[in-house]
Structure 1
């Protein structure tokens, strides 16, 4: 499965919309306004629902015939959650992909080392996890991605997978990801857990939805609320593993599920945008 960067629906929709608006203007100005308004609504929906692939190709699941799923964790790492999760995944011999923020990776380098030492992969989730970053200038988004790439290069890795905060995309993201030779990885199954603010019954909600080929969205970040109980959260994570096992679903890496590389490892990495040498693709 490949995430190519060819013509995307947004370009075609823009051409049709402006052509129709131009022609319609001579019929009635209101028709022109209605066509352009519909196009704006399509753009807004395409940004919020990135799985529509309106602005760029994305990977959100693997083959339904795979009898497998992939686990992904966003917003970490965090010392109260990630090490305990790694221990749990190790006991279950389960692979996962961690979409980390550059800010937290910089703050907790020892946990990044633990994730890699355990054989898991790491993706780019921007530096600051600004949920409004897609509304800001392209330079800001580029800087968020590049800064995180440079921080992760200290661990001799170069993520080739990017997940935007809150799953929101925009027309600028495609060009930026092409620049860094990255793919956009979203998801097809979530609780939702509201960034670990809604833990009660999370495993049961996942169990009712999950299907073969799904990429699961979970979080290992701490929501920063007093009500969050890391022990309760970890228990829900184990329940999810039990449910997947009972449903006969094998847990594979995102790369193993989709065939798309998530991360390269190298003995020598330079800053984002520069040449890399001696790279090794990790599953």
Structure 2
């Protein structure tokens, strides 16, 4: 019984589908395929839902009793957008978690140091941000995560959380994260900005149904068009001010979910008392 409880929801649903198929086969071999077909459909659809924990536990919301939300930014660091975000966050005394790509962290280490010095935390968002990494083998996925951990370790931090590219999971991810002492964090509030290619009404989409406990996902990417970039910064500030107008606090992610998000490596140059997570 304990072994059954330790199985992932996908494994338990799969076993149930097999048992139902065997029972159904007694009466109709043709209908016996239906439970298995439904299970396959669930396995295909569920990974596309960032909040779904079918294959592994996924944190996608925080504690609603905190009367707060958390801000997360994906795909940085970026020499154009990151400094602007850091200025806005400092203006509102807000701490965010940046889910960075290893290749970009390697290219812009000073931006990682700036994030840390200002009290923000860092998460692992794979090395190359391959949108199709979850369709590849476990070895490729493991390499993407481990390579980013090594880059960030040299910069003084050890992320304890991983956010998969596009928020997509697969059956291999849970075992990989367990071996690395990590866990998955996605989000439940996003604006469909397509990597800051679509920033119109960004704040309206985020704030419209915002609730306490929400984990907001935005992008640390500089829009290609300068006018759109200026509009993006305006929209981000509207989000920051709009959260306050809703009488919600912006808490560090670790505080909102009540779990550590990041540790320090021996290379960490920043005073640990600066950090809030």
Same fold by TM (over 0.5)?
A: yes
Secondary structure at the counterpart of residue 144 of structure 1: helix
Whole-angstrom CA distance in 1 between matches of 2:118 and 2:48? 34
Q: Are the aligned partners of 1:60 and 1:187 in contact in 2 as well (CA < 8 Å)?
A: yes
Displacement of 1:141 after TM fit? Answer: 0.4
Deviations 1:200-253 (A, max 9, x none): 110011110210110001111236x44773222111110001100100010001
Alignment of 1:134-173 (within 5 A): 134-173=134-173
Q: Are the aligned partners of 1:264 and 1:282 in contact in 2 as well (CA < 8 Å)?
A: no
- Does 2:214 align with 1:214? yes
Structure 1 stretches of 5 or more lacking a match? 270-277
Structure 2 stretches of 5 or more lacking a match? none
Deviates more, 1:226-235 or 1:28-37: 226-235
Whole-angstrom CA distance in 1 between matches of 2:230 and 2:114? 20
TM-score computed with the length of structure 2 as normaliser: 0.92
Distance verdict in 2 for CA 1:227–1:23, change over 3 Å: farther
Q: How many residues align?
A: 269
Q: Are the aligned partners of 2:155 and 2:267 in contact in 1 as well (CA < 8 Å)?
A: no
Q: CA RMSD in A?
A: 2.0
TM-score computed with the length of structure 1 as normaliser: 0.90
Whole-angstrom CA distance in 2 between matches of 1:234 and 1:43? 38
Alignment of 1:81-100 (within 5 A): 81-100=81-100
Whole-angstrom CA distance in 1 between matches of 2:228 and 2:112? 22
Whole-angstrom CA distance in 1 between matches of 2:34 and 2:56? 25
Aligned to 2:27: 27
Alignment of 1:185-264 (within 5 A): 185-222=185-222, 225-226=224-225, 229-264=228-263
Deviations 1:150-201 (A, max 9, x none): 0001111100011001110011110000011111111111112111111011
